[in-house]
Structure 1
Amino acid sequence: MRLLQKHLCTIAVSVALISGAHAAPLVEPTLHIKPAASGTGRVALTLDACGGKTDTRILSALVDNKIPATIFVTGIWLKRNAEAVAIMRAHPDLFELENHGGRHVPAVDTPRKIYGISSAGSPEAVLAEVESGAAALATTGEPAPKWFRGATAEYSPSAIAMIRKLGFKIAGFSINGDGGSLLGAKETARRIAAAKDGDVIISHINQPTHAAGEGVVQGLLALKDKGMTFVRLDDADGTGDHGTTE
């Protein structure tokens, strides 16, 4: 009996390894906005609010300097950050809230881990993540979201197709500003300040204890000093690859 169980376990492991080896590679979509017709250029700032708290250094800088941003919020973050949500809703000219999923689960429909985070693992779980994120946003009184960004910003191609069928555009990016909020302030500021006309920046607004938040503020102010214009995703034509916007 034990030999049979061992044999079956070996078969199961082999099947899992074969399946993983043949799983479709994940994609990390890029996104650009239409360049400015004139002037020094424009960029779109997108900030992920995955879970945890709110980096008030970033939020205050955006309000004080009238820098618009698209905030991708999870259902988890919404429950914990009512005060920050109220500030954002009090400045509809600056902030648009979009869908980052219900539980911050990667939109990948096969079981695997991305940056140590377990994927949704099935088509049904991907749909649940997207739809629960939209439902959580509906409770805030915000307009229905038009954009979705999954946890880790990596997707299986089949998940992209499912999300698009739900009517969402998928928000990639062209500049990873803070490396998942793990970079230091200096490098984060350097990356963001290097943004060019048409770029879409991704950073995080949910890690108030990380040095990257200071760098986000420094980089944004450097762009403002250069005369760069900031726009939200809904206020600009965005074009993404891998079928994420078309």
Structure 2
Amino acid sequence: MKWFQIFLLFAVICLQACATQDENEESIENIGEEPVIEEEVVEEEFADSEKEIDISVYQGRDPIQWGENVEGVKTRIDTDENVIALTFDACGGPYGNGYDEALIDFLREKEIPATLFINERWILEHEALFLELAQDPLFQIENHGTAHVPLSVTGNSAWGIQGTNSPEEVEKEVIGNQETIRERTGQAPTLFRSGTAFYDDVAVEIVNDLGLQVVNFDILGDAGATFTAGEVHQAMMKATSGSIVLLHMNQPNSGTAEGVRLAVLDLQEQGYEFVTLADATLK
């Protein structure tokens, strides 16, 4: 019996030794081979970030144009289709920090897409609302500036509002709100509209070099939310294929919401559809 137990113990030891040798041989064979690692998909954060530029190259440049329609400013969609883009500014600060809920509710009810140019002051005043709008696939969020001022390298003013006074101030007016929007949504805007929609040509060049297009309008829809509903309707009915309409979503006591409602229904009857500016070719 004792010899049998010794035999079993010897067999177990041999089996363990063989297993260890196999493992060692496998390890030796794998030396030099790259380890197999499960592929991890890493989403590049803020892939559409704005470009970095050398702002000093614009120093001393004298602008030759000033206004709403200077060279480089886009005012229409390049299309032959019966489409119109509604764009709504949210200005913020002393230029209006309200929220036109009736307007947004109508757009949602009728599933009318729109591009929203939102100023940093409005965002900071309405953080929760901003995130709600940014998460709604019906709306495209774009940059309406940091302090809501005209874009100038020489301090030009428009509508009584003092503009930026240097290339550095132009860059700050754009990038400040660009970062604010990107930090909250994970996406950087690709379009810019200044406060008052006034620019000089050097400022437009700076915005373009930062990687954004400057977008204005060909239809003044509510004149800074000062039009009555009837005037808004009348202005919007002048839109044609490819029109970009400028309106406001920060003045709930204006005639904008009702005017937009009337005009949208009439334009739909005429065969027009509404689109955002996303992926559109602008001219």
TM bucket, shorter chain: 0.7 to 0.9
Quote how far apart the aligned CAs of 1:142 are.
4.6
TM-score by length of 1: 0.82
Instruction: Say if 2:131 and 2:185, in contact at 8 Å, map to a contact too.
Output: no
| C-alpha contact 1:178 1:216 (8 A) present in aligned 2 | no
Kindly name which structure, 1 or 2, has the bigger radius of gyration based on alpha carbons.
2
> Could you say what the CA RMSD is over the residues aligned between the two structures, in angstroms?
1.7
Distance 1:78 1:157 in 2: 28
Instruction: Give the secondary-structure state (helix, strand or coil) at the position aligned to 1:234.
Output: coil
1:98 is paired with a residue of what secondary structure?
strand
Whether 1:45 aligns to 2:89 is no
Which whole-Å CA distance do the structure 1 matches of 2:254 and 2:191 have between them? Answer: 27
Q: Does 1:57 align with 2:102?
A: yes
Q: Structure 2 counterpart of 1:49, which letter? A: A
Are 1:70 and 1:232, in contact at CA under 8 Å, matched by a contact in 2?
yes
Q: Tell me, yes or no, if structure 1 residue 101 matches structure 2 residue 141.
A: no
Query: Are 1:207 and 1:213, in contact at CA under 8 Å, matched by a contact in 2?
Result: no
Closer/same/farther in 2, CA of residues 146 and 177 from structure 1, 3 Å limit: same
Gaps of 5+ in 2: 1-61
1:88 partnered with 2:129: no
Q: Displacement of 1:190 after TM fit?
A: 0.9
Q: Distance in 1 between matches of 2:265 and 2:122?
A: 26
Q: Counterparts in 2 of 1:223-238, with a 5 A limit? A: 223-238=267-282
C-alpha offsets along residues 221-242 of structure 1, whole Å, 9 cap, x if unaligned?
2222323111111142111xxx
Instruction: Say if 2:202 is the partner of 1:158.
Output: yes
Tell me how far 1:55 sits from its aligned partner: 0.6
Q: Which amino acid aligns with 1:48?
A: D
Give the secondary structure class of the aligned counterpart of 1:183: coil
Aligned to 1:18: none
Which consecutive segments of 4 or more residues in structure 1 shift more than 3 A? 22-25
Amino acid at match of 2:136: H
| Mapped pair 1:28 → 2:68 | yes
Scaled by the length of structure 2, the TM-score of the pair is 0.71
Residue 120 of structure 1 aligns to a residue in which SS? coil
Q: After superposition, what is the alpha-carbon deviation per residue over 1:26-49, rounded to whole angstroms, capped at 9, x for unaligned?
A: 131351112244xxx101111111
Cα distance change, pair 150–86 in 1 and its aligned pair in 2 (3 A):
same
- Counterpart Cα distance in 2 of 1:231 and 1:60: 17
Aligned to 2:113: 68
* Cα displacement (A) at 1:95: 0.4
State the one-letter code of the partner of 1:44.
A
Shift, 1:136, TM fit: 1.1
Deviation at 1:200, TM superposition (A): 0.7
Aligned positions, number: 214
In structure 2, the partner of 1:13 is none
Which residue identity does 1:58 align to in structure 2?
L
Residue of 242, 253, 256 corresponding to 1:212: 256
Q: Structure 1: any 5+ residue segments left out of the alignment?
A: 1-21, 240-246
Amino acid at match of 1:208: P
* 1:161-212 deviation digits (Å, cap 9, x = unpaired): 1111101011021111011111111111111122111111111111111223
Alpha-carbon distance, 1:155 to partner: 0.3
Change (3 A) 1:162 1:89: closer
C-alpha distance in structure 1 between counterparts of 2:155 and 2:213, whole Å: 24
| Residues 8-27 of structure 1: pairs in structure 2 closer than 5 A | 24-27=64-67
> Equivalents in 1 of 2:112, 2:63: separation in Å?
41
Percent sequence identity over aligned pairs: 33
Retained in 1: the 8 A contact 2:150–2:156? no
SS at match of 1:32: coil
